[in-house]
Amino acid sequence: MSADPTQVLAFETDCHLFDGCGFPAPGLHSFLFEPLWGDADSNVYFNKTMLLALLGSVVIIGFFWAAFAKPKMIPGKLQMVAEAGYDFVRRGIVYETMGKREGEKYVPFMVSLFFFVWMMNLWSIIPIAQFPVTAIIAYPAAIALIVYVMWVALTFKRHGFVGAFKNFTGYDKSLGAVLPLSMTIEFFSNLLVRPFTHTVRLFANMFAGHTLLLLFTIASWYMLNGIGIAYSAVSFVMVLVMTAFELFIQAVQAYVFVLLACSYLQGAMAEGH
């Protein structure tokens, strides 16, 4: 969890309910980390979230390397799991959204995207790490930007300037008098709002989920005193429930993020929305 001074103080001094100390509620400070290297004031530093993102990338690359370095006709357990994950993204997301013919070339990217987002989410419930990298908006924003650039570039490549403009604005002359208004709304929705919502959908879910986990975890410790023990037990049960729920949400958010990415690229290939 975050190295927030108030939380650390509460744990180190055995500050509990009825001890006269306030509840160290989680907040924005719970998402700030001191640099492991460098200087935060100069914006040149390396912190915990960067380390987790790097380690997550290494874990994913290492897993698939180990699974497919020497593939076998009769796969072992590791290869079987990797193939199942790959096939899930390929058939369950890419083919379903973009079609087999158009989508095949994007399968490697979408598989990488899915497992990267999922791994960044999973750090939330992994001991010691205990923080979802995607709860820092810069990370989902960077990934969403990659998808956005691919979508815009593919649209221009497929349709040219005029065709891309029609694609972005949802041009349909049958709309008549409302066409200018419709085109304006579609233009801003696609080129400005779309990357924002793609980012925030992932970020907000992971931010809220981690905040709830922090809240119940801190509350379990804080109320572990006198008659507060009963409330502490209930709070601890909620920690377990929320952890199980987060496992589900983490996978769903990775799925939704990639599903939307496929949907955007499929829209770039179509003549209209």
pLDDT in tens, 118-160: 999 999 999 889 999 999 999 999 999 999 999 999 999 999 9
Per cent of the chain over pLDDT 90 is: 60
Q: What is the mean pLDDT of residues 55-70?
A: 94
Confidence (pLDDT) at 199: 96
If we measure between CA atoms, which residue out of 227, 239, 266, 267 comes closest to residue 106? 266
- The C-alpha angle 167, 173, 174, rounded to 5 degrees, equals 120
Domain that holds residue 127: 5-269
Contact 171, 271 (CB under 8 A): no
Confidence (pLDDT) at 42: 78
Task: Give the E-state strand segments of the chain in sequence order.
Answer: 37-39, 44-46
For the entire predicted model, the pTM comes to 0.87
Per cent of the chain over pLDDT 70 is: 92
Residue 5 has pLDDT above 70, yes or no: no
Tell me the pLDDT of the chain averaged across its residues: 88
Binning pLDDT at 50, 70 and 90, where does residue 12 land? very low
Q: For the chain, how far is it from start to end, CA to CA, in angstroms?
A: 43
Question: 171 Cβ partners below 8 Å, 6+ apart?
Answer: 165, 179, 183, 272
Confidence (pLDDT) at 34: 87
**How many domains does the structure of the chain reveal?**
1
| Residues 170-197: tens digit of each pLDDT | 888 888 888 889 899 989 998 999 999 9
DSSP type of residue 95: I
Q: What is the mean pLDDT of residues 47-74?
A: 93
Confidence (pLDDT) at 1: 40
Question: 115 Cβ partners below 8 Å, 6+ apart?
Answer: 60, 64, 85, 254
Which range has the worst mean pLDDT, 1-10, 75-84, 252-261, 263-272?
1-10
Q: What is the mean pLDDT of residues 62-72?
A: 91
Q: What is the mean pLDDT of residues 40-68?
A: 91
Reading phi first (left if > 0) and then psi (alpha if -120 to 50, else beta), residue 56 is in: alpha
A 10 A CB-CB count for 96 gives 13
Confidence (pLDDT) at 14: 63
